[in-house]
A and B are shown apart, each in its own frame.
Chain A
Amino acid sequence: GENVEQHPSTLSVQEGDSAVIKCTYSDSASNYFPWYKQELGKRPQLIIDIRSNVGEKKDQRIAVTLNKTAKHFSLHITETQPEDSAVYFCAASMTTDSWGKFQFGAGTQVVVTP
């Protein structure tokens, strides 16, 4: 089955700096890679996703890159703000999976200090 590894487990950045979180996956059949943000005491929410037919996707200060050959994908947050502090989870899935199962990474605790 799919295995997703996520690094680092914790990340402290100064406000205004960039943050990068990296994930690797094992199943080359995976073709959908979402990123979820979970603020303290709240539910995980999708912030950005990428499919395997593109190499990069950007939404304002957030971007995701995908390297299918190396089987890794990364989340980039630029100009970080205190409200970016949260736990971020990557996941891998196959859109052909009839049941829509995700394999999640262990999460990265991001702390943005003013």
Chain B
Amino acid sequence: ETGVTQTPRHLVMGMTNKKSLKCEQHLGHNAMYWYKQSAKKPLELMFVYSLEERVENNSVPSRFSPECPNSSHLFLHLHTLQPEDSALYLCASSHPGLEHPPEQFFGPGTRLTVL
């Protein structure tokens, strides 16, 4: 394990459901990220949290709502999703700064299917 965990690993939901994805990092990092990975597309950065403050929202629809209660935990709340939102959702963490290598450590991802 790399120190970044995600639950659940698989999720099937209907378009009217509300669900949440959870990410936890045990690496002492201060930045966390949500990515969407669809087939044949680059990793799409959705949200960035730095020191528990959202610093980036890459034009993500409001049906995706992130939450970062502390530097170790990151959630992605989902509601009224569309079938095209089906993808692998990856969480990552890092400790950016001149004195630290900027490597991002990824979790195993949540495979989301929206029916």
* B34 CB, min distance to chain A CBs, angstroms: 12
Known: A99-B96, A101-B48, A102-B45. A43 touches B108 (CB 8 A): yes
Q: Which of B31, B40, B107 contacts A100 (CB 8 A)?
A: B31
Shortest CB-to-CB span from A10 to chain B, Å, is 10
Task: Name the residue on B nearest A89 (C-beta).
Answer: B43
Query: Scoring B residues 39 to 76 as 1 if CB is less than 8 Å from chain A, else 0, what string do you get?
Result: 01111010010100001100000000000000000000
List of A residues within 8 angstroms of B42 by Cβ: 4, 89, 104-107
Flag B1-42 by CB within 8 Å of A: 1 or 0 each. Answer: 010100000000000000000000000000100000000111
**Number of residue pairs A-B, CB distance < 8 angstroms:** 63
- On whether the beta carbons of A98 and B103 are closer than 8 Å, the reply is no
Chain A residue at smallest Cβ distance from B1? A43
Task: Tell me if A61 is interfacial: C-beta within 8 Å of chain B.
Answer: no
Given the complex, which residues of A lie within 8 Å of B101, measured CB to CB?
49
The size of the chain B interface, using a CB distance under 8 A, is 26
Within 8 Å of chain A (Cβ to Cβ): is B86? no
Contact B103 A42 (CB under 8 A): no
Q: Interface extent on A, as a size class?
A: 20 to 34
Q: Which residues of B have CB within 8 Å of A46?
A: 103-104
- B residues in contact with A45, CB < 8 Å: 2, 106
Contact with A along B97-115 (1 / 0, CB 8 A): 1100111101111000000
Contact B96 A102 (CB under 8 A): no
Bound: A40/B104 CA distance, A: 19
Residues in A with CB closer than 8 Å to B31 are 99-100
Listed in ascending order, the chain A residues whose CB lies under 8 Å from chain B are 4, 9, 32, 34, 36, 42-46, 49, 89, 93, 95-107
Residues in chain B within 8 A of chain A (CB atoms): 2, 4, 31, 40-43, 45, 48, 50, 55-56, 90, 94-98, 101-104, 106-109
Seed contacts A99-B48, A103-B45; 13 additional CB < 8 Å A-B pairs: A43-B4, A43-B106, A44-B90, A45-B106, A49-B101, A97-B102, A99-B50, A99-B55, A100-B104, A101-B48, A104-B42, A104-B43, A107-B42
